[in-house]
Structure 1
Amino acid sequence: MRRNKITILLIEEDPENANLYKKFLKRGEMSGEVTHASSLEEALPLLSQHTFKLIISALFLSDCSGLETFHRLRKAAPDTPIVILTRPIDEELALKTVSQGAQDYLPKSEITAQSLNRVSRSAIERHTLRESLKALTFTDELTKLYNRRGFIALTKQHIDLALRQKHGFHLFLIDLDHLKGINDTFGHLEGDKALVKTAESLNKNFRISDIISRIGGDEFAVIAINVPHQKGHLLKNHLLEIVKEWNATKEQPWQLSLSIGTAYFDPSQPTTIEKLMKLADQEMYADKKIHHEK
Structure 2
Amino acid sequence: MIKVLLIEDNPGDARLIREVLSDTDNQNIALKWVDQLETGIELINKDAFDVVLLDLSLPDSHGMETIISFREQAPAIPIVVLTGLDDEKVAINAVQHGAQDYLIKGQVNSSVIMRSMRYAIERHRLQDELYNLSIIDELTSLYNRRGFFNQAQQFMHVNGQEGNGFYLIVADLDGMKQINDSHGHHMGDLALMDTANILKEVFFDSDIIARMGGDEFTVILPDTHGFSPSLDTFEQEIILKIQQRLHSFNLSAGRIYQLSISLGLFHYNPAMPVTLGELIIQADHRMYTHKKGKVKVL
Structure 2 residues without counterparts, runs of 5 or longer: none
> Aligned partners of 1:78 and 1:58: how far apart in 2?
17
C-alpha distance 109-293 of structure 1, shift in aligned 2 (>3 A): closer
Worse-matched range after superposition: 72-81 or 184-193: 72-81
> Aligned partners of 1:134 and 1:213: how far apart in 2?
16
C-alpha distance 212-39 of structure 1, shift in aligned 2 (>3 A): closer
- Alignment counterpart, residue 8 of structure 2, candidates 4, 12, 15: 12
The aligned residue for residue 21 of structure 1 is 17
> Offset at 1:267?
2.1
The aligned residue for residue 234 of structure 1 is 237
1:172-226 per-residue CA deviation (whole Å, 9 max, x = no partner) reads: 1111111111112211111111111111110110011111111011111111222
Q: Kindly indicate whether the alpha-carbon contact (under 8 Å) linking 1:176 and 1:256 is maintained by their aligned counterparts in 2.
A: yes
Equivalent residue pairs, number: 290
> Aligned partners of 1:63 and 1:170: how far apart in 2?
39
Q: Kindly indicate whether the alpha-carbon contact (under 8 Å) linking 1:175 and 1:220 is maintained by their aligned counterparts in 2.
A: yes
The aligned residue for residue 151 of structure 1 is 148
1:121 and 2:118 matched: yes
> Offset at 1:245?
1.6
The aligned residue for residue 44 of structure 2 is 47
Q: Kindly indicate whether the alpha-carbon contact (under 8 Å) linking 1:88 and 1:109 is maintained by their aligned counterparts in 2.
A: no
TM-score normalised by L of structure 2 = 0.88
TM-score normalised by L of structure 1 = 0.89
C-alpha distance 28-15 of structure 1, shift in aligned 2 (>3 A): farther
1:255 and 2:282 matched: no
Q: Kindly indicate whether the alpha-carbon contact (under 8 Å) linking 1:171 and 1:277 is maintained by their aligned counterparts in 2.
A: yes
> Aligned partners of 2:59 and 2:204: how far apart in 1?
47
- Alignment counterpart, residue 184 of structure 2, candidates 175, 182, 187: 187
C-alpha distance 35-176 of structure 1, shift in aligned 2 (>3 A): same
- Alignment counterpart, residue 213 of structure 1, candidates 195, 199, 210: 210
Identity of aligned residues (%): 37
Q: Kindly indicate whether the alpha-carbon contact (under 8 Å) linking 1:91 and 1:107 is maintained by their aligned counterparts in 2.
A: no
5 Å-filtered alignment, 1:129-148, equals: 129-148=126-145
The aligned residue for residue 28 of structure 2 is 31
Worse-matched range after superposition: 271-280 or 85-94: 85-94
The aligned residue for residue 222 of structure 1 is 219
Q: Kindly indicate whether the alpha-carbon contact (under 8 Å) linking 1:171 and 1:263 is maintained by their aligned counterparts in 2.
A: yes
> Aligned partners of 1:8 and 1:190: how far apart in 2?
49
> Offset at 1:9?
0.6
Q: Kindly indicate whether the alpha-carbon contact (under 8 Å) linking 1:170 and 1:227 is maintained by their aligned counterparts in 2.
A: no
